[in-house]
Structure 1
Amino acid sequence: MLNSSKEVIFRRENSDQHMLFDDIVRQDQYYDDLGKVRHRLHKSTPNIQSIVLTDMDRSKMNKIYERKLDRELTGPR
């Protein structure tokens, strides 16, 4: 396991990162974006079966809402 030191090592690759933190708003936005990316990376990727099931559920719900809307617009049969 790598041990990271407490000191910041300035390199050419990470020197532009420190310029971002001159402004508090930019710093907050950077960490918000970083948190969103980390959250997305830890989520599991849906498989094709779950996608198909979700689409089927969505189509069922759409049919129900269409019937409800049709009933409200035209009245009961």
Structure 2
Amino acid sequence: MNLFMFSLTEKALDWLDLFLPNSLTTWDQVTVACLCKFIPLEKMTGLRSKIENFEEEPNESLYDEWARFENPKDECPIIV
């Protein structure tokens, strides 16, 4: 957590500076705060829906199915 700020640049670093010292004490708090700020709710809702309603396509190989499932999952950092 102490080194997190060094991984940020520009807008993200400015955003982090708005918080009081020690107000974000867990990774869950940082994740939720960051997602609320930088990922629109509509995008998060759409990605969550794709993941939750995922279905196998007819004649789809396991490899192709897994790749298709991983794509929205990779774009959605957490499911709130």
Same fold by TM-score greater than 0.5: no
Superposition TM-score, scaled by structure 1 size: 0.24
Superposition TM-score, scaled by structure 2 size: 0.23
Larger RCO: 1 or 2 (CA < 8 Å, sep 6+): 2
